[in-house]
Each structure stands twice: as C-alpha cells, then as structure tokens.
Amino acid sequence: MDTTDASANQRLPLIAVAGRLLQRLRGANRLGFALIFLAPSLVIFGAFVFYPLIKAVYLGFYETDPFGNQGDFVGVDQYRTVLTSESFRHSLKVTLLFALYTVPPGILLGLALALLANQKLPGISIFRVMFSSTVATSVAVASLMWLTLLNPNIGLVNYFLVEAGQPRIEWLLDPDWALPAVSATTVWLNLGLAFIVILAGLQTIPDELYESARVEGASGWRLFWHVTLPMLSPTLFFVSVVGTILAFQAFGQIHILTRGGPTDATEVIVYSIWEDAFQRFNYGVASVQAVALFVLVLGLTVVQFRFLERRVFYQ
C-alpha cells in the first residue's frame, strides 16, 4: 500500500507538468490562429501606417535639395528650425482656429437636428434622410457647391445679404472671412455623420427613464439636462474625438476653395505639408510637420480622454 501511494505521489508532479505543457500548447495554438486572422490587417497597417510614420521620422533628420533628393544628415536641428519657424506657428494657429470653428458648431448642430428627427411624427424619416444626406457627399462635390454659393457675384449667400441691405462680402478672397467660410463648408460636410451618430445614441435611451423623470415632475429642459444629456454623453464624446481628428486632417475643401489663401489665411498644417512636399519638393521639412501633426493629434486625443471622459456617463 505504501509503495502504491509513493508511486502515485511521484506521478502527480509529472501530471502537473504535462498539464502545464498542454495549456501552453493550447495557448500557442490560439496565438497562432489569432496571428493568422490578424495578418492581413497587420500587413495593411504596416504598409500604410507604421512604415510611413517611421519613414517620416527618418526623413525629418535629412535635408532635401531643390530636386527632392535626400541630402545631408542634420539631426534634430531641422526639427528645431521647422517647429520654431514663424510659418509653422502660423499654420498651427490656423489649424487650431479651424478646429474651434468646426468641431463645437458641428456637434451642436448635429445634436439639434438629431433631437428634431428623434420625434415620433408621421413622415419624420424623410427629414432623417435629408439631415443625413451630407454623409454621402464627397469633399469635392461639397466644395464646388459651396464655391458657387459663396461666389461674390452670383452666389446665393451674397444675394440674400444684398436683399437684406448688407454689402457683398468676398468670402473666399477676404483674409478675415476665408477661414470662417471654409469652416462653414466643413461643418456642413461633416454634419451628416454627427447627425447619424447622435440620433443613434438618442434612440438607445430607454423610454422608462423619461417616464420615471416625468413622474418625479421633470419636463422640458430638465428632462434634457438630467436624462438626455447624461445618457448621450458617450456618443457626444465619440463625436468630439472623431470631429477633432477630421478637423486636423482637412485638406480637400481648403485646396478647392482657397488653396491656403488669401495671404495664408487658411493654410492649415496639412496644406502646408502638401505645399512643402509636392510643390517645393522639400520632403524633410514636410516630414517634420507631419510628425508634429501626428504628435499634436495624439496629444489632443489623450487630453480629451483624460479630462472629457470624466464627464461621460456610462450605463
């Protein structure tokens, strides 16, 4: 009996080791299967995200001759020179103003339209389609449409201004009005996306919450402030983050409407990168700005998650 117990006790560590090896093999198999399924995405991200980012950081350390050829290694001096230059500070200021002019108004307008379209009325689906239609409009089409609307001579915007007794405004030629005009175009262009996302968030709020609040005597503004807004805060936070990223990536409407002018009034960082890379063939300077833009967007996103997410109410 004692011999049997001793042999059994000797087999227990072997069984435990075999069990651990079996678990590791299963884990390795799962990891292998996961990598197989992730491989296409990893290849795409590597080719179109990680490699360009590493290449941009690398090119930022080298000068570029007037023909676009890689020149001498200058290290961080080029980063320091570009990031402290007056032109970069100006483009950074324009970019921040552009984001300020587009993101908050876009969220407020999207919220207002979503609240209207969330009503249970006959034919409301028609208005939902109308409000969301801009999501199917390309940047080129929207820009050309607004280029006509803002035309100082034949545009409808100036027509209504003149009818109201106001002077005509050179919307895209006046440095004081060019950035607000391009911002209005961008708000209209992105309004469909904000509307769809916010409307979807509104429709996920349970009716029982409104009924309970009404029983407690809440109505109108109090319902919106204490029920709708807290329950909608995750959606608004998402729209804020995505809208900020889109604002810092804007290029097409600026290129079509103003080409960065007049007098660089609409030259955001992305447009400055395009000019340095494809007009002046100065890839080193363009790469420095691209890396700075990446760090800036990443930093703003982290700040939004760090401070704005505190006010987000998750169910």
Q: Give pLDDT, residue 172.
A: 93
In degrees to the nearest 10, what's the CA dihedral of 56, 61, 63, 67? -20
Lookup: tokens for 302: 């982290």
Residue 297 buriedness (CB in 10 A; 0-12 / 13-18 / 19+): middle
Closest CA to 266 of 178, 146, 141, 174: 178
Distance of CA 267 to the CA centre of its chain: 19
Residues 208-216: contacts with CB within 8 Å, 24+ apart? none
Three-state SS for 16?
helix
Residue 8's pLDDT band, with cuts at 50, 70 and 90, is: very low
- The answer on pLDDT for 6 being more than 50 is no
**Residues whose CB falls within 8 Å of the CB of residue 294, separated by 6 or more in sequence, listed in order:** 53, 56
CA 131, CA 129: separation in Å to the nearest integer?
A: 6
Are residues 91 and 267 in contact, defined by beta-carbon separation less than 8 angstroms? yes
Q: Which CATH number is 80-311 given?
A: 1.10.3720.10
Q: Which two tokens stand for residue 55?
A: 């290449």
**Cβ distance 278 to 207 under 8 Å?**
no
Q: Tell me, what's the pLDDT at 184?
A: 95
d(C-alpha 199, C-alpha 204), whole Å: 9
Q: What is the rounded end-to-end Cα distance, in angstroms, of the chain?
A: 61
Q: What is the C-alpha separation between 270 and 94, in angstroms, rounded? A: 11
Alpha-carbon gap, residue 5 to 233, rounded angstroms: 64
Are 241 and 235 a contacting pair, CB within 8 Å? no
Q: Give the integer Cα–Cα distance in Å for 189 and 103.
A: 12
Angle between helices 86-117 and 175-203 (to 10 degrees): 40
> For residue range 156-201, what is the model confidence (pLDDT) as tens digits?
999 999 999 999 999 999 999 999 999 999 999 999 999 999 999 9
Query: 185 near 149, Cβ under 8 Å?
Result: no
pLDDT tens per residue, range 120-152: 888 888 989 999 999 989 999 999 999 999 998
Distance from C-alpha of 155 to C-alpha of 224, rounded to nearest angstrom: 38
Segment 231-289, tens digit of pLDDT: 999 999 999 999 999 999 999 999 999 999 899 999 999 999 999 999 988 999 999 99
pLDDT digits (tens, 9 = 90+) for 78-117: 999 999 999 999 999 999 999 999 999 999 999 999 999 9
If you average pLDDT over every residue of the chain, what do you get? 87
HSE-up (13 A, CA, CB side) for residue 22? 6
- Helix and strand numbers, DSSP H then E, in the chain: 14, 2
Share above pLDDT 70 across residues of the chain, in percent, rounded to a whole number:
90
How far apart (Å, rounded) are the C-alpha atoms in residues 188 and 185? 5
Specify the 3-state DSSP secondary structure of 72.
Answer: strand
